[in-house]
Amino acid sequence: MGKPTDRFLAVDYQLVQQAWKNLAATRQAPPQVGGGTASVGKSLEAARAAEAQARNTAALAQEVETLKKQLESIQKQLGNQPAGQDSQNQKAIPQQK
């Protein structure tokens, strides 16, 4: 069992990569020009869906940035721990005489 102070972080890089691809696709998609009210309705619906997806992607990107900052903070904290804590977890090496 780990210590109660141990923390773990899991990042789904495939999900992050997919979110970035979706964001890039929505930003690069050319505006649709249609004739008639049916195509205008579809265009509005597509625009709303793209906007919602962009918001979700932006939220994911912000969450990734937050997680990166937290990870860096944890790494700094671990780097600043006194050496005594690490040596308690290691087995003693018998000295030869």
The secondary structure of 3-22 as a DSSP string is -TT-------HHHHHHHHHH
Residue 7 lies in a domain: no
Q: With a cut of 70, say whether residue 16 has pLDDT above it.
A: yes
Q: With a cut of 90, say whether residue 96 has pLDDT above it.
A: no
Name the residue among 25, 2, 20, 13 with its Cα closest to residue 89.
2
Residue 83 lies in a domain: no
Alpha-carbon distances of 4 from 12, 19, 45, 83, rounded to whole Å: 24, 33, 49, 19
| The pLDDT value given to residue 31 | 60
- The count of structural domains within the chain is 1
Per-residue pLDDT of 43-88, as tens digits, reads 778 888 888 888 888 888 889 999 999 999 998 888 887 765 555 5
The pTM of this model reads: 0.37
57, 17 in Cβ contact below 8 A? no
Burial class (CB in 10 A: 0-12, 13-18, 19+), 60: middle
Residue 22 lies in a domain: yes
Percentage of residues of the chain with pLDDT beyond 90: 9
11, 67 in Cβ contact below 8 A? yes
- Which domain covers residue 62, as residue numbers? 15-27+36-77
How is residue 8 written in tokens? 């773990």
Residue 96 lies in a domain: no
